[in-house]
């Protein structure tokens, strides 16, 4: 079973950087989930899917995999694009680039 090491991205509802600083190790699923025929619940016999480990650095996560003999794939983190420093008052500034219209 291959482990994935990555740095999680922000969610769509998140403006800060909480839970995006650590590196995450989780396992790829071995088998697709199965639908239970009577109740329609989705289940899986793969318990490694439930496991998610967090590390402060990428090197710690790779060292953990090497120590335990776990094959791993590392996905490099993409830096977010720089944000322009705008405020709400800039919408009504006199020297605005685009004219403000209704």
Taking only the tens place, the pLDDT of each residue in 59-77 is: 999 999 999 999 999 999 8
- The closest alpha carbon to 10, from 73, 85, 80, belongs to 80
CB 101 within 8 A of CB 94: no
- Domain, as residue range, for 8: 3-78
Whether the predicted pLDDT of 100 surpasses 70: no
Mean pLDDT of the chain: 86
Q: In which order are the strands placed within the sheet that holds 52-55? A: 52-55, 23-27, 3-6, 72-74
> For residue 50, what is the DSSP state?
G
22 belongs to a structural domain: yes
**Total tally of structural domains belonging to the chain:** 1
Residue 23 pLDDT: 95
Partner residues linked to 53 by β-bridges: 25
**Cβ contact 56:88 at 8 Å:** no
Mean pLDDT value across residues 7-31: 85
CATH code of the domain covering residue 66: 3.30.160.190
Which H/E stretch holds residue 53?
strand 52-55
- Asked if the structure places residue 29 within a domain, the reply is yes
pLDDT of residue 102: 59
The stretch 72-99 carries a mean pLDDT of 80
For 12-16, 23-27, 34-38, which range has the lowest pLDDT when averaged over its residues?
Answer: 12-16
């Amino acid at each position: 079973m291959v482990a994935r090491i990555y740095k999680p991205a922000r969610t769509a509802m998140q403006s800060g950087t909480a839970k995006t600083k650590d590196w995450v190790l989780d396992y790829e699923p071995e088998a697709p989930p199965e639908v239970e025929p009577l109740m329609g619940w989705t289940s899986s016999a793969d318990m490694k899917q439930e496991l998610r480990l967090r590390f402060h650095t990428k090197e710690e996560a790779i060292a953990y995999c090497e120590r335990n003999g776990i094959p791993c794939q590392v996905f490099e983190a993409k830096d977010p694009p720089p944000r322009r420093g705008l405020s709400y008052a800039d919408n009504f500034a006199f020297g605005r680039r685009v004219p403000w219209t209704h």
